[in-house]
Structure 1
Amino acid sequence: METVSDDVLVEILVRVADAVALFRCAATCKRWRGLAADWPKGARRPSSLIGFFQGQPEPFIMHPPPVLSPFIPAPLSPLGPRRRFLVVSIPEAGSSMDRAVPLASRSGLVLVRLGSQEWTGMNSMVHLAVCNPLAGTSQLLPPLEPSRPFSDKSCCGAILSGEDYCSDEQKRFTVGSSTFFKVLIINIIEWTGHSIYLRTFSSTEPSWSAPRKCKNPVVGKQQTHFSAVVCRGKARWLFRNRLDICTLDVNVGTGDVSTTKILLPMYLRVCELYDEPRLGATTDRRLSLNFLHRACLRIEIWTSEGDEDSIDGTANWLPDHVIELQKPHKTQIDNARCMCVGEKSGTLIIKDSRGNMYVADLETGTMEEVTARLCDPVSTAIPFEIDWPGFFVSPLAAGSIKCTKSGEAVLGLARSFGE
Structure 2
Amino acid sequence: MPPARRRRLASRRASKRPRRADSSSHGGAEDDGTPLTDEILVGIFAGLPEMADLVRCAATCTRWRRLVSSEAAFICRTPRPWPAGRFVRRLALGFFHRDAAAGPRFTPTASAARSRLPGLLQPNVLVERLNALVERPENGPRLVASRNGLIVADLRRGRRDRAIKLCVCNPMTGEVDVLPPLSGEDGLGRYACTVLTADDHDQTSDPPPPAYRVILFYNTCRSNTAFRSYSSEDGVWSPETIRGERLGKKQMGVGVTRTSVVVYGGKVACWFAKNAVLALSLNTLLPQVLSRAFVDGNTILGVSPPPGRRLCTIQMIFEAPTGYWPRRVALRVSKLNRSIHQGQEEDEVEVIQVEQHLPADVTTGQLRWFCEKSGVVLFTAGCSHGRSEVYALSLDKKEVEKIASHEAGGGGGGDPWENLHGYEMDRVAYLATLGVGYRTGG
The TM-score bracket by the shorter chain reads 0.5 to 0.7
Bigger Cα Rg: 2
| Residue 144 of structure 1 pairs with residue 188 of structure 2 | no
Q: Could you tell me which residue of structure 1 aligns to residue 48 of structure 2?
A: none
Q: Could you tell me which residue of structure 1 aligns to residue 94 of structure 2?
A: 51
Alignment CA distance shift 1:238-1:95 (3 Å): closer
| Residue 363 of structure 1 pairs with residue 396 of structure 2 | yes
Structure 2 CA distance for aligned equivalents of residues 158 and 342 of structure 1: 13
Equivalent residue for 1:324, pick from 322, 345, 353: 353
Structure 2 CA distance for aligned equivalents of residues 46 and 27 of structure 1: 25
Q: Could you tell me which residue of structure 1 aligns to residue 196 of structure 2?
A: 160
Alignment CA distance shift 1:76-1:146 (3 Å): farther
Alignment CA distance shift 1:358-1:207 (3 Å): same
Equivalent residue for 1:297, pick from 326, 329, 333: 329
Q: Sequence identity, in percent? A: 18
Structure 2 CA distance for aligned equivalents of residues 94 and 103 of structure 1: 16
Q: Secondary structure at the match of 2:295?
A: helix
| Residue 184 of structure 1 pairs with residue 215 of structure 2 | yes
Gaps of 5+ in 1: 1-13, 15-21, 58-65, 408-419
Q: Could you tell me which residue of structure 2 aligns to residue 10 of structure 1?
A: none
Q: Secondary structure at the match of 1:145?
A: coil
Q: Secondary structure at the match of 1:134?
A: coil
| 1:299-338 deviation line (CA, Å, top 9, x unaligned) | 1111122x3366xx98755124221125446443222110
| Residue 279 of structure 1 pairs with residue 301 of structure 2 | yes
Greater RCO, CA 8 A, separation 6+: 1
Q: Could you tell me which residue of structure 2 aligns to residue 239 of structure 1?
A: 273
Structure 2 CA distance for aligned equivalents of residues 161 and 363 of structure 1: 25
Q: Could you tell me which residue of structure 1 aligns to residue 424 of structure 2?
A: 385
| TM-score, L = length of structure 1 | 0.67
Q: Give the superposition deviation at 1:256.
A: 2.4
| Residue 70 of structure 1 pairs with residue 94 of structure 2 | no
Aligned runs of 1:200-219 on 2, under 5 Å? Answer: 200-215=229-244
Q: Could you tell me which residue of structure 2 aligns to residue 341 of structure 1?
A: 370
Gaps of 5+ in 2: 1-51, 69-79, 320-327
Q: Could you tell me which residue of structure 2 aligns to residue 228 of structure 1?
A: 260
| 1:324-366 deviation line (CA, Å, top 9, x unaligned) | 1254464432221101211222112212234322222222333
| 1:170-207 deviation line (CA, Å, top 9, x unaligned) | 8xxx9xxx752111122357x987x5332221123342
Kept in 2: contact 1:26–1:392 (CA 8 A): no
Q: Secondary structure at the match of 2:374?
A: coil
Q: Give the superposition deviation at 1:148.
A: 5.0
Structure 1 CA distance for aligned equivalents of residues 344 and 67 of structure 2: 41
Structure 2 CA distance for aligned equivalents of residues 38 and 328 of structure 1: 33
Structure 2 CA distance for aligned equivalents of residues 166 and 41 of structure 1: 11
The amino acid across from 2:236 in the alignment is S
| Residue 111 of structure 1 pairs with residue 152 of structure 2 | yes
Q: Give the superposition deviation at 1:132.
A: 1.8
Q: Give the superposition deviation at 1:106.
A: 0.7
Q: Secondary structure at the match of 2:260?
A: strand
Structure 2 CA distance for aligned equivalents of residues 89 and 192 of structure 1: 39
Q: Could you tell me which residue of structure 2 aligns to residue 257 of structure 1?
A: 287
Alignment CA distance shift 1:358-1:25 (3 Å): farther
Structure 2 CA distance for aligned equivalents of residues 216 and 234 of structure 1: 19
Q: Give the superposition deviation at 1:130.
A: 1.0
| 1:354-402 deviation line (CA, Å, top 9, x unaligned) | 43222222223332223337976123311110146x6455xx668x569
| 1:205-235 deviation line (CA, Å, top 9, x unaligned) | 3422333344459768445332111111111
Q: Which moved more, 1:142-151 or 1:100-109?
A: 142-151
The root-mean-square deviation of aligned C-alpha atoms, in Å, is 4.4
Kept in 2: contact 1:25–1:32 (CA 8 A): no
| 1:57-82 deviation line (CA, Å, top 9, x unaligned) | 7xxxxxxxx64311121232245898
The amino acid across from 2:335 in the alignment is T
Alignment CA distance shift 1:107-1:317 (3 Å): farther
Structure 2 CA distance for aligned equivalents of residues 128 and 334 of structure 1: 37
Structure 2 CA distance for aligned equivalents of residues 349 and 327 of structure 1: 17
Kept in 1: contact 2:141–2:154 (CA 8 A): yes
Q: Give the superposition deviation at 1:259.
A: 2.6
